[in-house]
Amino acid sequence: MSPNQAKPENSPHILVLGMGGTIAGLAAKPENPLQYEAGQVTVSSLLAHIESAIPEGLKLVSHQIANINSRNLTEPLLSLLGKTVQEALANNWVKGLVITHGTDTIEETGLFLQLICGKSAQELGKRIILTGAMLPANAAGADGPSNLLDAIRWASTPLDNCPGGVYAVMDGRACLAMDLSKRHPTALNAPLQSSPSSSAGLINPSWLSGVKAVQAAWNEDLPLPKGDEWPWVEILTSHAGARPQTVAQWLGSGVKGLVLAGSGMGGFHDAWQTPLAEAASQGIALVRTSRTGAGSTYPNIPEKDLEGCLASGTLTAPRARIALQLALNAAKVDKSLTWQDFFARIAVLPEIR
Ligand code: SIN
């Protein structure tokens, strides 16, 4: 770089944040790509690998936040990611962001980012793109390089029709990041979204109007908890043979909320009725969702809800947990509203079909 040339950080660029995952993974034997370690390759190496395909003149700056298997994602790490993204959104040189992430918990991170900075990304006209891979970096036909390139294109192409916001791009498709979820352990198209649109920029108009409806309904970002401020929330799954102890063991534990992944329409085993009523009377926040992993959970369906227990709307159990944590934290910050007020804003966000 000549002395007069601005450093990439001080000129318009796309910021690429590395969190780890299979996209940064290595298999001991490339011919056995299912046996591998996630989070082995740095994000700068991933970018170096695709350098020749990066659009001419596009400046990229990379920053490694973590290099983990995302099943080990922690709340302090989410706080660090959230803070980094918020700072980048406020930086005029950053025109868009890409985050390389493990797919196991990309579902949680997608909703988390929507709730803490979806509105500001939209208002600033910047796209934040989550991406990952199903095959480690050294496997034959690894999907990481093409996913990363697609994500970079999505973060950097003009905003004519697709607004700023928090998206995910994988397997040649794009969606709102809060809609991405992994629904198969190994398939290349495992991270599925309900409404595909082309990553080549051919945006599906009905999907786009769904994006705009979600953005119109999301009026205000929630406060970002510091690493040690996240309320303790657990997910309990109802099943045949469920026992009262599964709930009762949390009474007096310090847990602040329980997400109940019920069966079918989100109903839970009768064995839980008494301990859940006790949990509610102790002030433990309760949210009811469905373990089916799709569709919506509605209030008072199939039966009337316990006093104070909210239905999750379209949120799956992992998303409902993040939503409840952020709602509990928001109610602590703004004491004029309850966690139910904040949670209800999230649960009513429209589903894009
Ligand atoms: C991970 O989530 O870090 C491992 C799995 C993946 O990225 O597909």
Q: What is the CATH number of the domain that holds 306?
A: 3.40.50.40
Q: pLDDT for 215-243, tens place per residue?
A: 999 999 999 999 999 999 999 999 999 99
Whether 45 maps to a domain, the answer reads: yes
Can you say whether the dihedral through the CA atoms of 264, 106, 25, 170 is positive or negative?
positive
Closest C-alpha to ligand 1, atom 7: 102
Residue 205 and residue 66 share a domain: yes
Residue 161 and residue 33 share a domain: yes
Residue 256 and residue 197 share a domain: no
Instruction: Residue 227: name the closest of 73, 75, 68 by CA.
Output: 75
Residue 106 and residue 41 share a domain: yes
Residue 243 and residue 166 share a domain: no
Residue 88 and residue 192 share a domain: yes
Ligand 1 centroid to 172 CA: how many Å?
18
| Torsion angle of the four alpha carbons 131, 107, 103, 179, in this order, in degrees rounded to the nearest 10 | -50
3-state SS, residue 78: helix
Whether 269 maps to a domain, the answer reads: yes
What are the backbone angles phi and psi of residue 263, rounded to the nearest 5°? -90, 160
Whether 325 maps to a domain, the answer reads: yes
Residue 313 and residue 196 share a domain: no
> Is the CB of 38 inside a 6 Å radius of any atom of ligand 1?
yes
Determine the residue of 41, 68, 69 to mutate for testing ligand 1's pocket, defined as the one with the most ligand atoms within 8 A of the Cβ atom.
Answer: 69
Between the alpha carbon of residue 240 and those of residues 188, 269, 271, 287, the distances in Å are: 32, 8, 10, 20
Whole-angstrom Cα distance, residue 226 to residue 247? 28
- DSSP assignment of 127-151 equals EEEEE--SS-TTSTT-SHHHHHHHH
Whether 222 maps to a domain, the answer reads: no
CATH of the domain at 96: 3.40.50.1170
Ligand 1 centroid to 38 CA: how many Å?
6
Whether 225 maps to a domain, the answer reads: no
Calculate what percentage of the chain has a pLDDT beyond 90: 83
Q: What is the pLDDT of residue 160?
A: 61
Residue 179 and residue 63 share a domain: yes
Q: Which atom of ligand 1 is nearest to the CA of 106?
A: 2
Whether 224 maps to a domain, the answer reads: no
Establish whether the linkage from the previous residue to 318 is cis, with ω within 30° of 0: no
Whether 154 maps to a domain, the answer reads: yes
Residue 283 and residue 210 share a domain: no
> Is the CB of 225 inside a 6 Å radius of any atom of ligand 1?
no
> Is the CB of 79 inside a 6 Å radius of any atom of ligand 1?
no
Residue 311's beta-bridge partner residues?
A: 288
Q: What is the pLDDT of residue 106?
A: 97
Ligand 1 centroid to 44 CA: how many Å?
18
Q: What is the pLDDT of residue 173?
A: 87
Q: pLDDT for 288-347, tens place per residue?
A: 999 998 899 999 999 999 998 999 999 999 999 999 999 999 999 999 999 999 999 999
Q: Where are the beta strands (DSSP E) in 69-184?
A: 94-100, 127-131, 165-170, 173-176, 181-182
Structural domain span for residue 307: 233-347
Whole-angstrom Cα distance, residue 252 to residue 283? 10
Whether 226 maps to a domain, the answer reads: no
Residue 237 and residue 202 share a domain: no
Q: What is the pLDDT of residue 194?
A: 55
Token representation of residue 208: 């786009």
Name residues of the chain where pLDDT drops below 70.
1-6, 159-160, 191-201
Count: domains in the chain: 2
Residue 255 and residue 176 share a domain: no
Task: Name residue 130's amino acid.
Answer: L
Ligand 1 centroid to 74 CA: how many Å?
14
Whole-angstrom Cα distance, residue 264 to residue 274? 21
Instruction: Residue 53: name the closest of 150, 158, 172, 174 by CA.
Output: 150
Determine the residue of 73, 103, 134, 135 to mutate for testing ligand 1's pocket, defined as the one with the most ligand atoms within 8 A of the Cβ atom.
Answer: 103
Residue 117 and residue 187 share a domain: yes
> Is the CB of 329 inside a 6 Å radius of any atom of ligand 1?
no
